[in-house]
Amino acid sequence: MTTDDDAATVDARGLRCPLPVLKARKAIKDLAPGALLKVLATDPAAPLDFEHFCATQGHEMVASRHDGDTLIFEIRRGGRTPVEAPKPQIPSAPEPQSLNRCAVYRGRARPGMTGSYLSTPAPLG
């Protein structure tokens, strides 16, 4: 990362997704809110990646342009907290309980369980 013209610069040319965004994220953490970050990239997916990065992290895409094969993005660091994706609700299974030495699962004895923790195998014949 270098600094020129009052903007920190990240040179991510030659890197593929997701590396340009990861380098930008690392560099922008060190900047004060409102500071400008200039990113140079050649990855064709970079415009979409940086739009999403700015939208989800609370930054502003100031400019996006081409200079030959190089894509140039100017991002102003936001001052708000990044938007966090909602955490998925994963139902948890109830903890097995021990009742009268019999494993109980959701109020019923587990199949194959008897008064002791060992069951008698069914006859084969």
* Rounded distance between C-alpha atoms, residue 44 and residue 77, angstroms: 23
* Residues listed for the chain: 125
User: Can 102 be counted among the known catalytic residues?
Assistant: no
Q: Do residues 117 and 103 lie in contact, with contact meaning Cβ atoms separated by under 8 Å?
A: yes
Query: What is the DSSP track for 70-85?
Result: EEEEEEEPP-SPPPPP
| DSSP E strand stretches across 45-120 | 60-67, 70-76, 97-99, 102-105, 108-109
Q: Do residues 26 and 9 lie in contact, with contact meaning Cβ atoms separated by under 8 Å?
A: no
Query: What is the DSSP-derived secondary structure letter of residue 38?
Result: E
Structure tokens at 19: 């590396």
Q: Of the listed 1, 15, 17, 19, which one is catalytic?
A: 17
Q: Which residues are catalytic?
A: 17
